[in-house]
Amino acid sequence: MPAIKTEAFEMDRRRLMKLAGAMGVGTVFVSPQELFAAGECDKIFIDNGKITADQAGATLQFWIDGLHYGARTDLKSRANITLFMDLTQSASSYVEAVVLMDANKRTMGARYFDSSTKMSTGHVPYVRFDNIELNHESDYHVVYTVKNNTSSKLYTAKISKPVTSALKETWLPQKMRDDFKTFLKGNTANPTPGLFSSQFQFYTQNGLENHTARGRVKELGSNGDFKINIDFMHGDSGADHYMRYFIAMDPVGRLLGFYKRTGEADASRTVASTQPNPAAGGKAVDVMRITAEQKAEYGIPDLQVANINDCPYIQFFTEDSYDALARNIIRFR
């Protein structure tokens, strides 16, 4: 998932409400930077030019679906944005509002929470803005306010010239990212082919029939355990042309679980598809919750591992080591 640095400010809550006003759609929000310049709040996090992933609130992780029209048509592009903030909810300190604004600081959407609204990890829930109009040449701002007794902390982040999110932009562990630099076949025109999140984009003429992600949930436990049955896109065709990666992710691209086959002879996690796909010969892989051994082997930090029970939906990917990567979504609520 893409991640952007945040700035943080602190001010008296009553002063904030008086200056900022209601955060309804279409209203103009007085930015913390403007308040800071006017001496109305204090800046409490100084941007040092580096992303500090283990500092709460230091980054905002997001995923954008849509924007497929871009500059190719007069039809305005619309998209969905999902946000994840590394901030936990407690009675004394909790995220109470998240606001998405355009370049002119006009509110495009707002979400509100209280201290009881939280994930199993204590984090503020995923925030999703659906079907909003985005211009790929413009900038957008996210402001989230954290109530802290009688004061408020305001975290701000800028999404600059948004593009559709893709695996090549994520915080995948380096060992996995190296595998996605190119397919085994390689492609001179597209050195990193297939690494897009659209279900409808392919780099070959093989088409949707043989390169579509198909999957379903077989098991879902209250403790976060799961089993997702993901079909082969097609049967294995050789040493450099076989189904390799099967990945399940949360809405912003944090890992839920994955399995990597080492070759066409690798059948250790291969099972029968619960809904046989003729193109795949009825074969599938069961992807399960990421293990401590996988985290250690791939160097995956805890922050980049999600709990499926916190997810309103998940995304899953299947990869053909030769020439294709496909994605689909399973919605829970």
Which residues are CB-contacts of 173 (< 8 A; sequence separation ≥ 6)? Answer: 298, 299, 300, 304
Which residues are CB-contacts of 317 (< 8 A; sequence separation ≥ 6)? Answer: 167, 213, 245, 246, 247, 249, 325, 326, 327
pLDDT band at 326 (very low <50, low <70, confident <90, very high): confident
Cα angle 326-329-332, degrees, rounded to a multiple of 5: 160
Q: pTM value?
A: 0.83
Cα angle 181-326-221, degrees, rounded to a multiple of 5: 105
| CATH (one of 2.60.40.730, 1.10.730.10, 3.50.50.60, 3.40.190.10) for 168-331 | 2.60.40.730
What's phi and psi for 260, nearest 5 deg? -115, 120
- Give pLDDT tens digits for 190-248: 554 444 544 444 445 556 667 788 899 999 999 999 999 999 988 888 888 899 999 99
- Give pLDDT tens digits for 265-283: 999 999 988 887 777 778 9
Instruction: Give the C-alpha separation, 25 to 36, whole Å.
Output: 24
- Taking residues 100-118, report their average pLDDT: 88
Bigger pLDDT: 59 vs 24: 59
**DSSP secondary structure string for all residues of 106-122:** BEEEEEE--TT---TTS
pLDDT at 313: 96
pLDDT band at 331 (very low <50, low <70, confident <90, very high): very high
User: What residues pair up with 287 in beta bridges, in sequence order?
Assistant: 228
Instruction: Give the C-alpha separation, 201 to 123, whole Å.
Output: 34
- Which range has the worst mean pLDDT, 61-75, 145-159, 314-328? 61-75
Query: What mean pLDDT, rounded, does the chain reach?
Result: 79
pLDDT at 68: 63
Is residue 147 pLDDT above 80, yes or no?
Answer: yes
pLDDT band at 3 (very low <50, low <70, confident <90, very high): confident
pLDDT at 35: 54
Place of tokens 């996690």: 269
Burial of 122 (0-12, 13-18, 19+ CB in 10 A): exposed
Residue ranges of the chain assigned to CATH 2.60.40.730: 168-331
Residue 224 CA, chain-centre distance (Å), reads: 19
